[in-house]
């Protein structure tokens, strides 16, 4: 059993293949966190908790005679506000008498033989290969009728434990939930580093590593999306942790809106780590019988460094978060018209692009922004989801059929959550936009945001998008979000419920996506928010691939895709070959290098194929052949980071499940006179199999390759790239 319950139903051991997570409800009903780490036998480890009389750390009423017992010092599963724990808490309540206190004590537990579902939000699901087991612990507030249910699912083979919270008001009086974080981890001993993934638009998910000290380390978003600036994932690790060594704990929030994540040492050197919905500008009113579900956190532990941790996240997200036809089906190689035409296109231009693309082996043409309403720039038209047939020179159905006649699929861009003030929709329904009465709103790209918490807004979008998808042969949708939320005010939830709008907004987005995918299950949906502004685990539930960044510069993409790989599978990374000089950076890189970098993702092109040379057209054919040849490696294989950012070359590797085939990519990022040799490490091979290397024809055992590595015979020039294969041979 993955979940073991002992000590009269008060000791809980959650066992994965390589880890143990232990909790114990003590004599006062406080749910203590006693252990998370390398797999153990599961004896009660309450003895590890050192209790002492600590000045200015008070005692709960049950233990007033025992001054060594203080909530301010104990490792807990559900630390709460206002009752003696002065550290960061998970939950805060506002009662009808104006008091703000929450003191939750153990009531009981339940076991269910499957994973749990979070109401209205994505969460890991069971598949044919593995079903989760779930523990539900009930905690009751000591002075009110508020109940918390803590959900823990164990995916044993995957070394994953999930955590979520439901808060229920079972009393007569209304209660306001002021804070509800999904997860708390208390580490009683040890020094830790915190790795977070930070950046900005076009520079997303750069790893940043800091030592956890008494000064709080905190990241988060207040943008209404998970954001380009901070990703809702982080790693707590021992200071000596590397790719292949050390204890590493991952936390990944399944949520696409405002979040917080923090780590801090307390006065006694204990480390507390929390993650969940950002409490800033958040409140949620609970009347009698109502409940609130907080999003899921995916926890995973590795005793062998960062690489193993990443593999565990890649596998769980690929197998238990991504869904639908394209979870494992081969994705088509696409051409997006955006950087080829921007807003300046018509049917003839698009057909010309499609003809050239089909000739080179590209499998889908995607029509980006500008096909609808009055939309010749980014100042108007959003919300008017009607094809501009005058601009196109045909209907979408006719255009789609022409593209299909070329043997290609057809895709379309949408930005459903946004509205332009210069639009028929805004003129008809100005109250549908998030806008505070009496204030001029912030604008980004001269657009506002639709109130996705409203049923009527979602119904309009569902009808319009369904009409388009139902009448034109559309195989793919790019779902974009091109500004952060601000000026939060909902006419539906005005007044004392306005603190619910951010959360209800993202629930509305999830609801619309779910309805559309139920109606059009064969659509390949690619998520996007100016590139990587909503690249999170929750969006993978709807879109198995996400546009990784608006920055398509191959050299910048090395760092962006490196940071993305710590949690997210390579199959989820939207990556394209674009024109040079690059439209974001002005850099010129070889066509072959751009292809090799984009090959580590869901592959495509973002340029005018009619403007490239004949040699480059031949390289397009070669790159597409390589994409198909290596697809099982890049989308289903095991991924290894071989070099950190800042080295003179960047290298990474894929190995297939049977360990018969490996592919390494190396990109030279800087040049120097009298260059030193380029030597790369090799990972993931079977020690006892023999492999032939494609660049030198040498045959060695996997043990030898992984021990000795590979030295290239020639040093590549700056920005040049090399693909290196290892294939199993029958005989040495």
Give the active site residues: 536, 616
Place of tokens 């994973």: 115
Question: Cα-flanking dihedrals φ and ψ of residue 525, to 5°?
Answer: -100, 125
How far is C-alpha 171 from the chain's CA centre? 37
Residue 418 backbone dihedrals phi, psi, to 5 degrees: -115, 160
User: Distance between terminal CA atoms of the chain?
Assistant: 44
Name the residue among 126, 27, 30, 148 with its Cα closest to residue 85: 30
692 phi/psi in degrees, rounded to 5: -100, 130
Q: How many helices (H) and strands (E) does the chain have?
A: 14, 38
Q: How far apart are CA 480 and CA 478, in angstroms?
A: 6
Peptide linkage before 581 cis (omega within 30 of 0): yes
**How deeply is 39 buried, as exposed, middle or buried, from its count of CB atoms within 10 A (0-12, 13-18, 19+)?**
middle
Which residue in the block uniquely carries the two structure tokens 């036998």? 41
Structural tokens at position 431: 């109250």
Distance CA 282, CA 121 (A): 17
Nearest to 720 by CA among 655, 675, 657: 675
H-helix segments, 525-567: 537-540, 554-564
Burial status of residue 97 (CB atoms within 10 A of its CB: 0-12, 13-18, 19 or more): exposed
The C-alpha atoms of residue 430 and residue 93 are separated, in whole angstroms, by 35
Closest CA to 720 of 682, 683, 670: 670
Q: CA neighbours within 13 Å on the CB side: how many for 583?
A: 16
Distance CA 434, CA 450 (A): 6
Ramachandran class of 280: left when φ > 0, alpha when ψ lies in -120 to 50, beta otherwise: beta
Give 429's contacts (C-beta < 8 A, 6+ positions apart).
Answer: none
**Region at 674 (left for phi over 0; alpha for psi -120 to 50; beta for the rest):** left
Return the C-alpha torsion angle 322, 328, 330, 336, nearest 10: 0
Alpha carbons 62 and 40: distance in angstroms, whole number: 32
CA pair distance 330, 627, nearest whole angstrom: 10
Q: Identify the bridge partners of residue 367 per DSSP, sorted by sequence position.
A: 412
CA distances from 658 to 128, 483, 637, 689, 707 (A): 20, 44, 9, 11, 20
Q: What is the C-alpha to C-alpha distance for residues 732 and 722, in angstroms, rounded to an integer?
A: 25
Residues 648-671, buried b or exposed e (16+ Cβ, 10 A)? ebbbbbbbbeebebbbbbbbbbee
How many C-alpha atoms does 517 have within 13 Å on its Cβ side? 22
């Amino acid at each position: 059993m993955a979940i073991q319950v002992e000590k009269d139903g008060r000791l809980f051991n959650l066992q994965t293949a390589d880890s143990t997570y232990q909790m114990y409800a003590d004599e006062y009903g406080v749910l203590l966190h006693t252990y998370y780490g390398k797999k153990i036998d599961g004896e009660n480890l309450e003895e590890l908790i050192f209790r002492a009389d600590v000045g200015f750390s008070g005692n709960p009423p049950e233990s007033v005679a025992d001054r060594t017992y203080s909530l301010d010092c104990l490792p807990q599963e559900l630390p709460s506000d206002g009752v003696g724990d002065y550290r960061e808490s998970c939950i805060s309540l506002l009662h009808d008498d104006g008091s703000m206190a929450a003191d939750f004590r153990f009531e009981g537990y339940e076991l269910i033989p499957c994973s749990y579902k979070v109401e209205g939000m994505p969460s890991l699901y069971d598949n044919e290969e593995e079903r989760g087991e779930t523990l539900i612990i009930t905690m009751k507030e000591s002075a009110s009728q508020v109940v918390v249910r803590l959900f823990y699912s164990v995916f044993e083979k995957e070394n994953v434990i999930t955590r979520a919270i439901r808060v229920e008001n079972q009393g007569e009086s209304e209660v306001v939930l002021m804070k509800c974080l999904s997860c708390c981890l208390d580490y009683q001993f040890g020094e830790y580093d915190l790795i977070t993934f930070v950046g900005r638009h076009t520079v997303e998910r750069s790893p940043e590593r800091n030592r956890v000290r008494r000064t709080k380390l905190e990241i988060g978003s207040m943008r209404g999306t998970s954001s380009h600036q901070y990703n809702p994932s982080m790693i707590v690790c021992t200071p000596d942790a590397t790719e292949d060594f050390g204890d590493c704990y991952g936390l990944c929030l399944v949520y696409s809106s405002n979040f917080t994540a923090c780590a801090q040492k307390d006065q006694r050197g204990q480390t507390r780590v929390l993650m969940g919905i950002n409490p800033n500008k958040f409140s949620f009113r609970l009347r009698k019988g109502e409940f609130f579900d907080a999003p899921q956190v995916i926890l995973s532990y590795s005793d062998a460094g960062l690489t193993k941790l990443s593999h565990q996240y890649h596998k769980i997200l690929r197998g238990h978060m991504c869904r639908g036809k394209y979870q494992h089906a081969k994705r088509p190689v696409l051409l997006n018209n955006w950087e080829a035409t921007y807003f300046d296109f018509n049917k003839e231009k698009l057909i010309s692009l499609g003809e050239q693309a089909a000739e080179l082996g590209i499998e889908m043409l995607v029509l980006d922004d500008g096909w609808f309403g009055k939309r010749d720039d980014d100042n108007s038209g959003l919300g008017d989801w009607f094809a501009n047939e005058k601009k196109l020179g045909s209907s979408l159905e006719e255009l789609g059929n022409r593209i299909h006649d070329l043997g290609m699929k057809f895709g379309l861009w949408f930005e459903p959550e946004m509205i332009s003030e210069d639009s028929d929709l805004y003129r008809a329904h100005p109250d549908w936009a998030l806008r505070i009465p009496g204030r001029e709103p912030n604008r980004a790209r001269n657009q506002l945001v639709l109130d996705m918490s409203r049923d009527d807004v979602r119904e309009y979008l569902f009808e319009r998008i369904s009409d388009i998808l139902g009448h034109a042969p559309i195989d793919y949708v790019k779902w974009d979000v091109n500004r952060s939320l601000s000026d939060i005010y909902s006419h539906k939830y005005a007044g004392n419920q306005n603190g619910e709008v951010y959360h209800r907004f993202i629930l509305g987005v999830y609801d619309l996506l779910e309805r559309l995918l139920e109606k059009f299950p064969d659509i390949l949906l690619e998520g996007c928010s100016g590139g990587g502004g909503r690249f999170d685990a929750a969006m993978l539930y709807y879109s198995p691939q996400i546009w990784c960044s608006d920055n398509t510069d191959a050299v910048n993409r090395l760092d962006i895709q490196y940071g993305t790989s710590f949690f997210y599978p390579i199959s989820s990374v939207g990556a394209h070959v674009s024109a040079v000089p690059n439209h974001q950076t002005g850099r010129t890189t070889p066509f072959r290098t751009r292809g090799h970098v984009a090959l580590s993702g869901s592959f495509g092109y973002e340029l005018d194929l009619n403007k490239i040379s004949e040699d480059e057209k031949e390289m397009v054919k070669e790159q597409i052949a390589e994409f198909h040849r290596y697809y099982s490696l890049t989308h289903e294989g095991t991924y290894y980071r071989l070099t950190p950012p800042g080295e003179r070359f960047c290298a990474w590797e894929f190995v297939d499940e049977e360990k018969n085939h490996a592919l390494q990519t190396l990109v030279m990022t800087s040049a120097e006179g009298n260059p030193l040799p380029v030597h790369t490490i090799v990972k993931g091979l079977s020690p006892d199999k023999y492999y032939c290397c494609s660049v030198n024809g040498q045959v060695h055992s996997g043990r030898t390759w992984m021990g000795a590595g590979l030295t290239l015979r020639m040093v590549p020039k700056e920005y040049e790239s090399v693909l290196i294969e290892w294939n199993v041979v029958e005989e040495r």
